[in-house]
Amino acid sequence: MKVEITDFRENDRERLQQIYFEVRNTTFTWLPQDSIDITSFNKDTEGEYILVARAGKKIVGFASVWLQDGFLHHLYISNQYQRKGIGTMLLNKVIENADYDLTLKCLKQNDLGINFYLKSGWEAVSEGISNEGEYILFKYHISR
């Protein structure tokens, strides 16, 4: 499967909304089901730089970054395409494009996410509490 990472295009929005909704509902099962709807993607990524993963002509995932703070806000891969290296590809592209250290928050209940970031070279630097629960703050040190 050939995967390409591209910049967001407006005609990607509908599929990214679907992925965001699908993955949040199947991964964050402890959150109330009505905490997100199909259009939540729009509000939750507003003003962010978005990279899109495409397998052939099909959109299979995305990463969004709040550039002002070097904060990786979202990394979502469609359920049927998870564990195929696509998250790593998106993460590597975010890192490759960064000129400064990056941070992200991962909810403590997201064991798969925590393990993924640790294996990808991110360092757990602190913990906190958000509206969605306790999280770990991770940092990736860019050496340039």
Predicted local confidence at residue 39, as pLDDT: 82
Question: How far from 73 is each of 1, 57, 58, CA to CA, in Å?
Answer: 26, 25, 23
- Could you tell me which residues come within 8 angstroms of residue 81 by beta carbon, excluding any fewer than 6 positions away? 53, 55, 60, 61
Task: Please give the class, per CATH, of domain 3-140.
Answer: alpha beta
**In the sheet that 133-140 helps form, which strands lie side by side, from edge to edge?**
3-7, 49-55, 58-66, 71-77, 102-107, 133-140, 123-130
Query: What are the pLDDT digits (tens) for 48-64?
Result: 999 999 999 999 999 99
Strand partners, 127: 136
Are the C-beta atoms of 94 and 116 separated by less than 8 Å? no
Q: Please give the mean pLDDT across all residues of the chain.
A: 93
Domain ranges for the chain:
3-140
The pTM assigned to this predicted structure is 0.92
pLDDT exceeds cutoff 60 at 144: no
d(CA 3, CA 10): 20
pLDDT of res. 136: 98
Q: What pLDDT score was predicted for residue 139?
A: 98
Q: Give residue-wise pLDDT tens across range 95-122.
A: 999 989 999 999 999 999 999 999 999 9
Spatial distance between the Cα atoms of 43 and 124, rounded to a whole number of angstroms = 27
Q: What is the mean pLDDT of residues 59-77?
A: 96
